[in-house]
Amino acid sequence: MYHKIFSLYFILLALFAIGNAKNWVFGYGSMLVAQPSSKSYAARVLGLSRAFNTPGMFSTEAGGGSLNRPFRLSTIYIGAYPNSTDSINGLLFQLTDEEFNLLDQRELLVPYSERLNISVANVAFLYSQSSPMSPNDNVYYYHLNDSTRVSGPGASLLIVQSNVDELLAACLAVDLQYNSSTSFQDEFINTTYGWNVNYWVNDRVLPRRPFKYTPLISQIDAALTRAFNQSLQLDLIPIDNPINLTQFTLTNVSDMNQSIITLQTSVSVLSQDSNNHRTNIAVLQSSYGNLSMQLKQLQNTIPGLQAKVANMSSQISSLQSETAVLLILAIVALCWSGLLMLGIAYYVYTRKKDTYTDLSSKETESIPLTRNYGTVYNNV
């Protein structure tokens, strides 16, 4: 009876534990930079190897790319694969169901990506951390399948320094978090296969002054120098004894280096043009503000001007009325003047006529006397 009760009890405990299993994801490369959760633990996983074996894919196809359409000069990234005799360090992320689903969508976007299990027994937490993991928890990692991985860098699959900088800066952040000097960063470099200076290009924004855009550049270059014993001849590691760069040749990549320099120059020119455009935009915005202010002032003066125009219109109407009256008076005055002149002319004419009549009458009265004299003369 008791035996059955204990068996049932342990079965219920197991079912409860399975129902409360947590999801963990092991980040060993790009996930150190683009972390899927704020809950992370430095750890080492047995049975995995890490290498530059993941080709970058550039394509407009849905799903993130196609191996059938690789970019001519692509980038190679870090990937992991099973290896029972090896181990690698990284970060373990404890994920909620929502975070886990979002990460699945991101990492499995490429059809060649897989999510594989890691045994809890193969997980070792670093820096004396107590394990927050239960035996029934789920631990996963993502990688490309065997048919997609490549053997290492090549002329068309290059290690790029900007990617290395991101990875080593993330490792250094772990070292700072656990006050571990550079042990995490050094282990990352030493447990990563495929470093090859013949296919390693310096694509930093300012190769001669990389510290301007990468604050941790001295620590990153120092870590690479330690790992490769000053054999990394890429003109990017500051060391006491400068490397003779004339001895270094980058097979099949020299043309691309020149193209990168040209692109960097173009980027600088575009950046300068962009700054000029920003300045012009600022000037235009200032001018627009001034014009807007002047327009408002004009809008405020318009009512006053309209009132003045209305007043002037009223005055003009009054002047027009007064002018019309004056014109009528002038016409009347002219008419009266004309009548007056006619009256005067008639008066003068009448006076002259009367005078002429009087004179004619007098002449008529003197004529008979003459005639009489003539008559008398004739009679004689």
Could you tell me the residue ranges of all domains in the chain? 21-247
Secondary structure (3-state) at 201: strand
Q: Is 184 left (phi over 0), alpha (psi -120 to 50) or beta?
A: alpha
Query: Partners of 93 in the beta sheet?
Result: 25, 40
Q: Which of 54-63, 127-136, 232-241 has the lowest mean pLDDT?
A: 232-241
Secondary structure (3-state) at 220: helix
Q: Please check whether residue 146 is in contact with residue 54, taking contact to mean a CB–CB distance below 8 angstroms.
A: no
- Model confidence at 121: pLDDT above 80: yes
Q: What is the pLDDT of residue 81?
A: 93
CB-based burial, 317-338: b 16+ in 10 Å, e otherwise:
eeeeeeeeeeeeeeeeeeeeee
The CATH architecture to which 21-247 belongs is: Roll (3.10)
| Cα–Cα dist 249/197, whole Å | 9
Secondary structure (3-state) at 192: strand
Q: What is the pLDDT of residue 351?
A: 82
At residue 364, what is the residue type? T
End-to-end alpha carbon distance in the chain: 216
| Cα–Cα dist 163/70, whole Å | 19
pTM of the model: 0.55
Q: Which residues lie closer than 8 Å to 138 by C-beta, 6 or more apart?
A: 21, 22, 23, 24, 117
- Model confidence at 69: pLDDT above 80: no
Distance of CA 132 to the CA centre of its chain: 43
Q: Across residues 91-118, what is the average pLDDT?
A: 89
- Model confidence at 292: pLDDT above 90: no
Each residue of 203-226: pLDDT tens digit?
A: 887 766 666 667 777 788 888 888
Helix orientation angle between 183-190 and 217-228, rounded to the nearest 10 degrees: 50
Nearest to 40 by CA among 169, 178, 137: 178
| Cα–Cα dist 349/342, whole Å | 10
Backbone φ and ψ of 228, nearest 5°: -105, 10
Q: Which of 54-68, 177-191, 302-316 has the lowest mean pLDDT?
A: 54-68
Q: What is the pLDDT of residue 300?
A: 86
- Model confidence at 335: pLDDT above 50: yes
Backbone φ and ψ of 151, nearest 5°: -75, -20
Q: Across residues 301-318, what is the average pLDDT?
A: 86
Nearest to 31 by CA among 131, 171, 204: 171
- Model confidence at 49: pLDDT above 90: yes
| Cα–Cα dist 55/110, whole Å | 12
Q: Across residues 121-139, what is the average pLDDT?
A: 92
Q: Which helix (H) or strand (E) holds 94?
A: strand 74-95
What's the mean per-residue pLDDT of the chain?
77
CA atoms within 13 A on the CB side of 218: 2
Take residue 8 and report the two structure tokens written for it: 């049932």
- Model confidence at 64: pLDDT above 50: no
Confidence of residue 66 (pLDDT cuts 50, 70, 90): very low
